[in-house]
């Protein structure tokens, strides 16, 4: 059975349960803390616990949903750039980037700049 990320990427508009499962898988793959994922999705930490425990799902058309779709796109681009090498992906996320004077992870967490990172990955082949 395909993984939730692959299924979500294959669908034009994934359902709430599938997108939630995909985001949790991405978070696990990239070694995000619940607090980091919460900040990326504009949630509280307790909300991430509820998502992880299947007590709630992302709500379509909400800001959380939009951020989740951006995170899904970001992960897909990053996965392709690093040929599915999760260690290299995690390293890139946590390494200070000279262009931004910050780490990509902190840009997503502290500056809500995931859209900037998506644009960067879409248009740049150099990830330094």
Summarised one tens digit per residue, pLDDT across range 50-63 is 999 989 999 999 99
Q: What is the predicted pLDDT for the residue at 1?
A: 47
The residue to which tokens 């939009």 are assigned = 66
**Cβ atoms within 10 Å, residue 13:** 8
- Own/partner pairs, 37-42, CB within 8 angstroms, 24+ separation: 39/108, 39/109, 39/110, 39/112, 40/67, 40/71, 40/108, 40/109, 40/112, 40/114, 41/67, 41/68, 41/71, 42/67, 42/112
Angstrom distance (rounded) from CA 13 to CA 4: 13
- Predicted structure pTM score: 0.89
Residue 106 pLDDT class (50, 70, 90 cuts): very high
Mean pLDDT of the 78-84 span: 93
């Amino acid at each position: 059975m395909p993984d939730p990320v692959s299924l979500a990427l294959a669908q034009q508009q994934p359902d709430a349960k599938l997108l939630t499962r995909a985001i949790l898988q991405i978070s696990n793959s990239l070694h995000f803390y619940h607090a980091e994922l919460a900040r990326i999705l504009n949630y509280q930490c307790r909300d991430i616990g509820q998502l992880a425990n299947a007590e709630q799902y992302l709500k379509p058309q909400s800001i959380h949903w939009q951020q989740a779709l951006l995170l899904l796109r970001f992960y897909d681009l990053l996965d392709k750039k690093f040929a599915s090498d999760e260690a290299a992906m995690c390293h890139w996320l946590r390494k200070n980037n000279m262009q931004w004077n910050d780490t990509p992870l902190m840009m997503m967490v502290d500056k809500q700049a995931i859209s900037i990172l998506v644009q960067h990955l879409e248009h740049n082949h150099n990830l330094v």
